[in-house]
Amino acid sequence: MEFKDPASYTDLSQGKIKHIGFRISVDFSTRTLQIEATYQMKEPIQGSLFLDSFKLELLKAHVNGRELAWEFDARDDILGDRLHLKGFEDDSTFTLTFRTSPEARALQWLNASQTAGGNYPFLFSQCQAIHARSIFPCQDTPSVRFTYSAEVEVPQGLVAAMAAEQVGVEEGTGQTLFRFRMPQPIPSYLFALVVGNLDFRELGPRTGVYAEPQIIDAAAWEFAENETKIIEAEKLLGPYLWGRYDLLILPPSFPYGGMENPRLTFLTPTAILGTRGQTSLITHELAHAWTGNLVTNATWQDFWLNEGWTTYAEQRITEVLEGKEVADLRSAFAEKQLIEIMQQIGMDSPYTCLKLPAERDADSFTTIIPYFKGAFFLQECEYAVGRERFDAFIQAYMASFQFQSLTTEAFLDFLKSELPEVFEKVNVHKWIYEPGLPAADAWHRPQSHLYDEVQQALDNYEQGIKPTQEQVQGWHRVQIFSFLQGLPHKIPVEDCSYFEQILELDKRNDAGHYSFFYATCVASGYQAALPRIEQFLGTVGRMLYILPIVRAMIETEWSRDFMRPLFERVRDRHHQITIHAMERLLRNAGL
């Protein structure tokens, strides 16, 4: 493997971590984890080992009964601190004792008042892309995989859960000890831990949900169909190799829609709509159990191998579970969003290529481009050889690379050996290494009559004819998205209220709809909506929903100066990743 992950200090020639045994003690009063970790390497190592770390306080390093020399010998805002362990003499195991910082990027410590119940504190981790290093020293690159076991000690009354198998619980005095093991090798970004007042509800033989007691009923109802999903996903992708598939509903500040932590998907509470309407989000995270967790991108430059493949699989499973009409509607909407974001960042920007530029800050280029452009590329490959052959290819790909990480180049080699005709019919190089999208007549652009219906309403609106309530009554959730996304940047203020009313946005109470709606309100000068916008930005944590509103506020004359003070008022409600992203937008705008 001749590559270097630009987002990590790892030097693969020194050796690779194979297993870590953790003993973790959770201290809410100091907002720290005290950890002892015993590392096993794949092979004995000589001399030095570089590990990634971020603001960790190292207390002790020892190997075979002797002290190990160490220093933090490189430091970077993004990469963190390079832990240089020295003096290995053919050792394959060593132990580190350390404490995390209250500012650990992967950890969010919540006061009781920031939870649904209001009585217990809460802790959750989010390691993707490069934050595992703020919990434990590691080779924080997806090209290294390891198994682990963990003992987690938490204050009595609280429950610990991990993206791993629970193998025991012991009540102590004032403390409870939870034991876990992760027998399948994972990359560091899939390490995950949560501690809180959590209830669990069984959904099916392999599926269940964790949530605070106040929302467990709603969650159990919303996701009752998960077992069926796994069965469908297995038909496309092969056997589910992780044992259980549970969900964890997080407090509102969770910055993502979902995070595919193995065995335990982390989910935004905005996914609970009361309608089972956000099924594609679960389909997406579930599909990652194969595309991402089983077969993993080797670096974050190859992110499309995770997200493009997952979006493609999501699309295929949606076709079976929700029908082709809905799947086509989603595709057509995806293309519109893709073009919009490409235009925003520049059609010739290298960030519109599937293979992304080498970057230290792996989170800074997370856009939907690798998702949708990647899925469209794979769909072109499918068209080139037909569904039957492509489906056989998918199964072969999963089976050949399971529990491995691969680069885009390794994937292309595999594609070439299995399906050489793809290269005759599809301009693979252009899709992967060139910016923008192929010409409109050079690929199978999505066709959807449900989308066309929305487009007709948008065209009519531009001619001065507004849709009636009757016309939009039976619209699918994604048609409403498409309509809101397709509206002109700026519309008359009274039309904002009109659309809110006929689309019954308040009744549906879907944060996704409000995200598009409020961005339009801001651009349109609907100043009376400001208090509601502030309320939204203070209660929704999902970045995909709030950043577009922040961007609109910054770009619009009347709202520009409101944004910094508003941000300061809601700052405490948000995750550090979100704060970091908002800060970057504000700073770039000189605010």
What is the nearest approach in angstroms of ligand BES to the Cβ of residue 581?
Answer: 11
* CB closer to ligand BES, 85 vs 219: 219
Q: Give catalytic status of residue 260 as yes or no.
A: no
Q: Cα–Cα distance between 574 and 563 in angstroms, integer?
A: 15
Strand ranges in 28-136 using DSSP code E only, listed in sequence order: 32-53, 57-63, 66-67, 69-76, 80-99, 107-110, 122-125
CA 137 from chain centre, in angstroms, equals 22
Q: Single out the residue of 147, 184, 297, 366 in contact with ligand BES (rule: CB under 6 A).
A: 366
Q: How many other C-beta atoms can be found within 10 angstroms of the C-beta atom of residue 303?
A: 25
Q: Does residue 321 bind ligand BES (CB under 6 A)?
A: no
What is the nearest approach in angstroms of ligand BES to the Cβ of residue 535?
Answer: 21
CA 343 from chain centre, in angstroms, equals 23
Q: Does residue 333 bind ligand BES (CB under 6 A)?
A: no
Q: Residue 291: CB partners within 8 Å, gap ≥ 6?
A: 237, 305, 306, 309, 310, 312, 313
Q: Residue 65: CB partners within 8 Å, gap ≥ 6?
A: none
224-229: long-range contacts at Cβ-Cβ below 8 A with a sequence spacing of 24 or more? 224/276, 225/276, 225/279, 226/282, 226/286, 227/203, 228/321, 229/279, 229/282, 229/283, 229/286, 229/317, 229/321
Q: Does residue 259 bind ligand BES (CB under 6 A)?
A: yes
Q: Does residue 301 bind ligand BES (CB under 6 A)?
A: no
Partner in contact with 573, chosen from Zn ion, ligand BES, none, beta carbon below 5 to 8 Å by kind: none
Q: Cα–Cα distance between 471 and 366 in angstroms, integer?
A: 36
What is the nearest approach in angstroms of ligand BES to the Cβ of residue 570?
Answer: 19
What is the nearest approach in angstroms of Zn ion to the Cβ of residue 284?
Answer: 6
Give the position of tokens 């996704």: 512
Give the position of tokens 């908002």: 582
Q: In Å, how far are 232, 313, 331 from 320, measured between CA atoms?
A: 8, 11, 15
Q: Does residue 128 bind ligand BES (CB under 6 A)?
A: yes
Question: Given the rule CB under 6 A, which of 257-265, 327-335, 434-442, 551-559 is the region that contacts ligand BES?
Answer: 257-265
What is the nearest approach in angstroms of ligand BES to the Cβ of residue 216?
Answer: 22
Q: Does residue 284 bind ligand BES (CB under 6 A)?
A: yes
Q: Which of 566, 576, 589, 493 is nearest to 255 (CA)?
A: 576
* CB closer to ligand BES, 94 vs 518: 518
Q: Does residue 285 bind ligand BES (CB under 6 A)?
A: yes
Q: Does residue 257 bind ligand BES (CB under 6 A)?
A: yes
Name the active-site residue from 222, 285, 380, 453: 285
Question: Given the rule CB under 6 A, which of 36-44, 173-181, 256-264, 398-406 is the region that contacts ligand BES?
Answer: 256-264
What is the nearest approach in angstroms of ligand BES to the Cβ of residue 258?
Answer: 5
Q: Single out the residue of 140, 212, 260, 335 in contact with ligand BES (rule: CB under 6 A).
A: 260
* CB closer to ligand BES, 91 vs 363: 363
* CB closer to Zn ion, 368 vs 585: 368
* CB closer to Zn ion, 185 vs 370: 370
**What does residue 590 show for φ and ψ, rounded to 5 degrees?**
75, 25
Q: Single out the residue of 544, 585, 586, 591 in contact with ligand BES (rule: CB under 6 A).
A: 544
Q: Which of 290, 225, 285 is nearest to 256 (CA)?
A: 285
Q: Does residue 405 bind ligand BES (CB under 6 A)?
A: no
Q: Single out the residue of 201, 263, 288, 336 in contact with ligand BES (rule: CB under 6 A).
A: 288
Whether 364 and 130 have beta carbons less than 8 Å apart is answered as no
Q: Cα–Cα distance between 131 and 108 in angstroms, integer?
A: 12
What is the nearest approach in angstroms of Zn ion to the Cβ of residue 345?
Answer: 20
Q: How many other C-beta atoms can be found within 10 angstroms of the C-beta atom of residue 120?
A: 19
**Count of residues engaged in binding ligand BES, rule: CB under 6 A:** 16
Give the position of tokens 């405490």: 572
Q: Residue 7: CB partners within 8 Å, gap ≥ 6?
A: 78, 79, 129, 130, 140, 141, 299, 300, 359, 360, 361, 362
Question: Given the rule CB under 5 A, which of 159-167, 174-182, 304-312, 502-510 is the region that contacts Zn ion?
Answer: 304-312
What is the nearest approach in angstroms of ligand BES to the Cβ of residue 306?
Answer: 7
Question: Given the rule CB under 6 A, which of 209-217, 283-291, 386-394, 436-444 is the region that contacts ligand BES?
Answer: 283-291
* CB closer to ligand BES, 180 vs 256: 256
Question: Given the rule CB under 6 A, which of 75-83, 281-289, 340-348, 401-409 is the region that contacts ligand BES?
Answer: 281-289
Q: Residue 173: CB partners within 8 Å, gap ≥ 6?
A: none
Q: Give catalytic status of residue 285 as yes or no.
A: yes
Whether 295 and 404 have beta carbons less than 8 Å apart is answered as yes
Partner in contact with 256, chosen from Zn ion, ligand BES, none, beta carbon below 5 to 8 Å by kind: ligand BES
Partner in contact with 257, chosen from Zn ion, ligand BES, none, beta carbon below 5 to 8 Å by kind: ligand BES
User: Hey, what's the torsion of the CAs at 343, 346, 351, 352, to 10 degrees?
Assistant: 50
Q: Which of 440, 475, 436 is nearest to 455 (CA)?
A: 475
* CB closer to ligand BES, 222 vs 307: 307
What is the nearest approach in angstroms of ligand BES to the Cβ of residue 250?
Answer: 12
**How many Cα atoms sit within 13 Å of 29 on the Cβ side?**
1
CA 185 from chain centre, in angstroms, equals 20
Q: Cα–Cα distance between 5 and 207 in angstroms, integer?
A: 35
What is the nearest approach in angstroms of ligand BES to the Cβ of residue 344?
Answer: 17
* CB closer to ligand BES, 142 vs 258: 258
Give the position of tokens 């493609």: 312
Q: Does residue 281 bind ligand BES (CB under 6 A)?
A: yes
Q: Which of residues 410-469 bind ligand BES (CB under 6 A)?
A: none
What is the nearest approach in angstroms of Zn ion to the Cβ of residue 186?
Answer: 16
x-marked contacts with ligand BES along 490-529 as a string, rule CB under 6 A: ----------------------------------------
H or E segment at 267?
strand 264-267
Name the active-site residue from 371, 397, 526, 545: 371
Please list the active-site residues: 285, 371
- Residues binding ligand BES (CB under 6 A): 128-129, 256-260, 281, 284-285, 288, 307, 363, 366, 371, 544
- Residues binding Zn ion (CB under 5 A): 307, 310
